[in-house]
Amino acid sequence: MEAATRLRRIYIVFGILWTLTESIVPGARSMIPSFDTSSPVNVTAQVGSYAYLTCRVRNLGNKSVSWIRKSDAHLLAVDKESFIADTRIIVVHSAVHDTWTLQIRGVKSSDTGDYECQVSSEPKISRIVSLSVVVPTIEIKGDPDIYVMAGSSVNLNCVITGYIDEPAFVLWRHHGKETVQTVISSDSTQIRRQPPDVLISSLKISSASHDSAGVYICHPTSLSPTNVTLHVLNGEQPAAMQDGQKSLSPSINGLSLSLSICLLALLLL
């Protein structure tokens, strides 16, 4: 009975102290770390670009903010101190906005997944931010090997689809060099856009010559390149075409012989 009375007195004293604290420091009950839920929990970034995963914490006080990669439970950073060898990943803190932003430079497909922002309060509180990585497709229309006659015009169309951030430029390379007038006769490039997310870079060769032959590389900014090989013919046929004709000749000759025998048999009946 005496113990219960003592405990009751402790609760009363604690209540009085808490009331006094509230009167001295208005809003003391609200000075507990909490997340600002207005920051996005789903982030989409394009491969090769930057990803920003923001964690906004109110009333942090002397507590710490940690970022953890959920896929392998790897501790990435505590406050602004990194705990990962990958220099692409850092934390940027803004005291003005109470934000701790996980920044990933040169985003890769493997960066896709969940990241946990954790506050070292008691009990701990955490917030999950999910990152999705978009990988645009890049292709040069047509076959990987293009055959043209000398003097003919050629149009190479490099099509980029499914992008979020439009490439700043599309670079065409020929023999490892940027395409220039001295390499390609009367060449020109142009960009066409087809909403919402299709970009076409066209390279025109007005008169193909021996110097025009070779590998052409289309390389949009921050994206993977693709290539095509141009073959310029001077009246001759490609080996592939010649081999195809040779392989057809025995079959055609055999068929002609069979038809001749059948016709002769009909005449003798």
Supply the pLDDT for residue 111.
98
Domains 32-134 and 137-233 fall in the same CATH topology: yes
> Given a cut of 90, is residue 8 above it in pLDDT?
no
Token representation of residue 171: 């670079």
Q: Which residues contact 54 (CB under 8 A, 6 or more apart)?
A: 39, 40, 99, 100, 101, 102, 129
Strands (E), 47-197: 51-58, 65-69, 74-78, 81-82, 89-94, 99-104, 113-119, 125-134, 137-140, 145-149, 154-161, 170-174, 177-178, 187-194
List the chain domain ranges.
32-134, 137-233
Q: pLDDT grade, residue 222 (50/70/90)?
A: confident
Supply the pLDDT for residue 269.
58
Q: What is the pLDDT of residues 43-88, one digit of tens each?
A: 999 999 999 999 999 999 999 999 999 999 999 999 999 999 999 9
Structure pTM?
Answer: 0.69
d(CA 115, CA 126): 10
Q: Enter the CATH code of domain 32-134.
A: 2.60.40.10
d(CA 221, CA 167): 5
Supply the pLDDT for residue 237.
60
Token representation of residue 210: 């021996």
Question: 137-233 adopts what CATH topology?
Answer: Immunoglobulin-like (2.60.40)
What mean pLDDT comes out for the span 9-35?
55
Task: For the chain, give the number of residues.
Answer: 269
Please classify residue 103 by burial: count the beta carbons closer than 10 Å to its beta carbon, then call 0-12 exposed, 13-18 middle and 19+ buried.
middle
Q: What is the pLDDT of residues 237-263, one digit of tens each?
A: 654 444 433 433 343 344 444 545 544
The share of the chain scoring above pLDDT 70, in percent, equals: 72
Q: pLDDT grade, residue 6 (50/70/90)?
A: low
d(CA 88, CA 72): 17
Query: Between residues 187 and 52, which one has the greater pLDDT?
Result: 52
- Pick from 71, 131, 133: which is nearest to 108 by CA? 133
Q: What is the pLDDT of residues 114-172, one digit of tens each?
A: 999 999 998 999 999 999 999 999 999 999 999 999 999 999 999 999 999 999 889 99
Q: Which residues contact 64 (CB under 8 A, 6 or more apart)?
A: 78, 79, 119, 120
Token representation of residue 193: 């856009």
Q: State which amino acid sits at residue 58.
A: R
Q: pLDDT grade, residue 22 (50/70/90)?
A: very low
Q: Which residues contact 214 (CB under 8 A, 6 or more apart)?
A: 174, 175, 229, 230
Q: In whole angstroms, how far apart are CA 179 and each of 141, 226, 267?
A: 19, 15, 67
Instruction: Give the residue ranges of DSSP H helices in the chain.
Output: 2-24, 239-268
Q: What is the pLDDT of residues 70-82, one digit of tens each?
A: 999 999 999 999 9
